[in-house]
C-alpha cells in the first residue's frame, strides 16, 4: 500500500481487408454496461472491480494506492483524509491500472488502463474483428495503414462524444489529441483546458460553450505493429471524472476554510 499526494485528478473483417470504413461503424454508440476492460466497468465499487479482475485472471496481483489532497491554512501545510486513488494490477502479459472517484464522492471506478501482449500475436484484422465481436460496432477508427497501426474508439450511448473528430472527407476518426484527455492523473486538467480553448470537435459535441462534465465514456484500443504484439486500452468516464474533480476541489476548499477558522479561533495576542 502506498500513499501519494494528488495535486490534480482527476464480423467486420471483410470490410477491414478492403480498407473501408463500413457505414455500420460510423457514429455507432454502445451501452455503458457493454464497455469494460478485463471485466472492470465504470461505476464499479472497489469490491466489484477486484472481483472482476480475479474472475478475469485468478493469478492477478493487486496493490491499493491511497492518496490525499494538500491544502494550506495560512500557517500549516495540511492534507485531507486518505482515500483510495488507484489499484495497480499485474498479471501474465498485462498490467492494469484502475482509478476511483475522489472524495466527497463514493470511491467508484472512473478510469481503467491496460497494457497487454499476446503470446501468439494476432493480425491487425483479426484483432479488430475480435474487438468488434466483443464490444459491437465502433464509433471511430483510424483508416487501415501499412504496418498495422490502428486506433479505435467506442463511445457511450446517449452521451456527447468528446474524443471523436472528423477528417477532411467527413469520416469520423479518433481525435488526434485524445490521449491527453484519457491519461491519469492529468486528464481532467487537459479536458478543461481544451474546453476553455473551445477546441472545434468539443464545440461540435457540446455546443458553443462546452462543458466537459457532459462528456460520455470512451473506450480506446491502440496498437502499432503487424502482427499485434502489444496493445494498450483505456476506458474513461470523461464527464464523470471532470464532475468528480470539481466536487473534490470544492470539498478541499471547505476543509481549508474550516482549518482557517479553527486557526483563528486558537490565536492569542502577544503580551504588550
What is the predicted pLDDT for the residue at 272? 80
Does 11 score more than 70 pLDDT? no
Residue of 27 and 119 predicted with greater confidence: 119
- On whether residue 256 sits in a domain, the answer given is no
In a domain, 7, yes or no: yes
User: What is the per-residue pLDDT for 238?
Assistant: 97
Q: Is residue 211 part of a domain?
A: yes
The answer to whether residue 17 scores a pLDDT higher than 70 is: no
pLDDT at 198 over 90: yes
Q: What is the mean pLDDT of residues 105-127?
A: 94
**Which of 23-37, 142-156, 250-264: highest mean pLDDT?**
250-264
Q: Cell numbers at residue 213, please?
A: 462534465
48 lies in which domain range? 2-250
Give the pLDDT score at 13. 34
In 3D space, the residue among 119, 52, 35, 130 whose CA is nearest the CA of residue 89 turns out to be 52
pLDDT of res. 60: 96
pLDDT tens digits, one per residue of 135-159: 999 999 998 888 888 999 999 999 9
**Quick one: pLDDT band at residue 65, thresholds 50, 70, 90?**
very high
Question: Is residue 68 domain-resident?
Answer: yes
Contact 238/217 with Cβ under 8 angstroms? yes
Q: Do residues 201 and 172 touch, judged by C-beta distance below 8 A?
A: no
Look at residue 72 and tell me if it is in a domain.
yes
Residue 258 lies in a domain: no
Asked which of 117-121, 167-171, 266-270 is least confident by mean pLDDT, the reply is: 266-270
Domain presence at residue 255: no
Given a cut of 50, whether residue 103 has pLDDT beyond it is yes
Least confident interval from 74-78, 178-182, 216-220: 178-182
Residues of the chain with pLDDT > 70, as a percent, come to: 89
Contact of 11 with 129, CB cutoff 8 Å: yes
Per-residue confidence (pLDDT) for residue 213, from 0 to 100: 97
Q: Are 111 and 184 in contact (CB under 8 A)?
A: yes
Query: Does 96 map to a domain?
Result: yes
- pLDDT above 90: residue 118: no
* Calpha distance 51→25 (Å, rounded): 32
- pLDDT grade for 12, boundaries at 50, 70 and 90: very low
Residue 27 has a pLDDT of: 65
Confidence of residue 30 (pLDDT cuts 50, 70, 90): very high
pLDDT of residue 4: 53
Q: Which residue has the higher pLDDT, 31 or 22?
A: 31
Structural domain total, the chain: 1
Q: Provide the pLDDT for residue 267.
A: 66
pLDDT bracket for residue 270 (50, 70, 90) = confident
Amino acid at each position: 500500500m502506498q500513499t501519494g499526494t494528488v495535486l490534480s485528478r482527476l464480423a467486420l473483417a471483410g470490410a477491414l481487408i478492403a480498407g473501408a470504413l463500413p457505414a455500420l461503424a460510423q457514429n455507432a454508440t454502445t451501452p455503458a454496461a457493454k464497455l469494460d476492460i478485463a471485466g472492470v466497468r465504470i461505476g464499479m465499487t472497489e469490491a466489484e472491480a477486484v472481483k472482476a479482475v480475479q474472475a478475469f485472471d485468478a493469478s492477478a496481483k493487486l496493490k491499493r494506492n491511497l492518496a490525499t489532497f494538500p491544502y494550506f491554512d495560512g500557517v500549516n501545510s495540511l492534507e485531507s483524509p486518505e482515500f483510495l486513488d488507484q489499484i495497480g494490477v499485474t498479471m501474465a502479459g498485462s498490467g492494469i491500472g484502475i482509478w476511483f472517484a475522489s472524495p466527497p464522492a463514493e470511491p467508484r471506478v472512473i478510469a481503467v488502463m491496460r497494457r497487454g501482449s499476446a503470446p501468439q500475436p494476432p493480425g491487425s484484422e483479426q484483432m479488430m474483428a475480435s474487438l468488434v465481436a466483443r464490444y459491437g460496432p465502433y464509433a471511430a477508427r483510424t483508416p487501415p495503414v501499412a504496418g498495422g497501426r490502428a486506433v479505435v474508439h467506442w463511445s457511450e450511448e446517449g452521451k456527447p462524444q468528446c474524443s471523436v473528430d472528423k477528417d477532411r472527407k467527413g469520416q469520423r476518426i479518433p481525435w488526434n489529441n485524445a490521449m491527453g484527455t484519457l491519461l491519469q492523473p492529468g486528464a481532467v486538467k487537459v479536458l478543461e483546458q481544451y474546453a476553455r480553448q473551445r477546441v472545434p470537435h468539443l464545440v461540435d459535441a457540446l455546443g458553443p460553450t462546452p462543458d466537459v462534465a457532459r462528456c460520455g465514456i470512451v473506450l480506446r484500443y491502440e496498437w502499432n505493429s503487424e502482427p499485434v504484439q502489444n496493445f494498450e486500452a483505456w476506458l474513461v468516464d470523461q464527464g464523470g471524472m471532470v464532475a468528480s474533480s470539481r466536487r473534490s476541489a470544492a470539498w478541499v476548499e471547505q476543509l481549508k476554510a474550516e482549518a482557517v477558522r479553527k486557526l483563528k479561533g486558537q490565536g492569542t495576542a502577544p503580551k504588550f
